[in-house]
Amino acid sequence: MTNYLGYPNEFAKEPMSTQAMVDLCKQHTMYTWTAGNAVNPLPIARADGVYLWTPDGQKILDFNAQLMSVLIGHNHPRVIAAMKRQLDELIFVYPQTATQVRARVSKLMHELIPGMQSFFFTLGGAEANENAVKMARLYTGRQKILARYRSYHGGTNLTLQLTGDPRRWPSEPGSPGILHVMDPTPYDYSFGATDEERCRNHLTYLEETIKYEGPQTIAAMVVETVTGTNGVLVPPKGWFKGLKALLDKYGILLVCDEVMAGIGRTGKMMAYEHFDVTPDLVTMAKGLTSSYFPLGAVGLSKPIHEHFQKNVYPGGLTYNSHPVGLATAEAVLRVTVDEKLVENAAKLGAVMRSEMDRLTKKHKSVKEARNLGLFGMFDLQKNSKGELMAPYNGTHPAMTKLAGFFRENGLFTFLRWASFTTNPPLCITEAQLKEGFAIIDRGLEITDAAFEG
Instruction: Band the pLDDT of 36: cuts 50, 70, 90.
Output: confident
Q: What is the pLDDT of residue 352?
A: 98
Q: What is the pLDDT of residue 318?
A: 96
Could you report the per-residue pLDDT of 16-34, keeping only the tens digit for each? 899 999 999 999 999 998 9
Q: What average pLDDT does range 272-282 have in this prediction?
A: 98
Residue-level pLDDT at 75: 98
What confidence tier does 10 reach under pLDDT thresholds 50, 70, 90? Answer: low
- The overall average pLDDT reported for the chain is 95
pLDDT of residue 4: 42
The per-residue pLDDT for 136 is 98
Q: What is the pLDDT of residue 12?
A: 60
In tens, the pLDDT along 387-396 reads 999 999 999 9
- Residue 1, pLDDT score: 41
Residue range 423-430: mean pLDDT, rounded: 98
Mean pLDDT of 290-315: 98
Q: Which of 165, 169, 163 is nearest to 145 (CA)?
A: 163
| Confidence band, pLDDT 50/70/90 cuts, at residue 453 | confident
Q: Using one digit for the tens of pLDDT, what is the confidence trace for 99-136? A: 999 999 999 999 999 999 999 999 999 999 999 999 99
- Domains of the chain plus CATH, in order, are 1-39 (no CATH), 42-71+341-449 (3.90.1150.10), 77-338 (3.40.640.10)
pLDDT band at 11 (very low <50, low <70, confident <90, very high): low
Q: How many residues does the chain have?
A: 453
pLDDT tier, 3 (very low <50, low <70, confident <90, very high otherwise): very low
Model confidence pLDDT, tens digit, residues 312-326: 999 999 999 999 999
pLDDT at 151 over 80: yes
C-alpha to C-alpha distance for 110 and 59, rounded to whole angstroms: 39
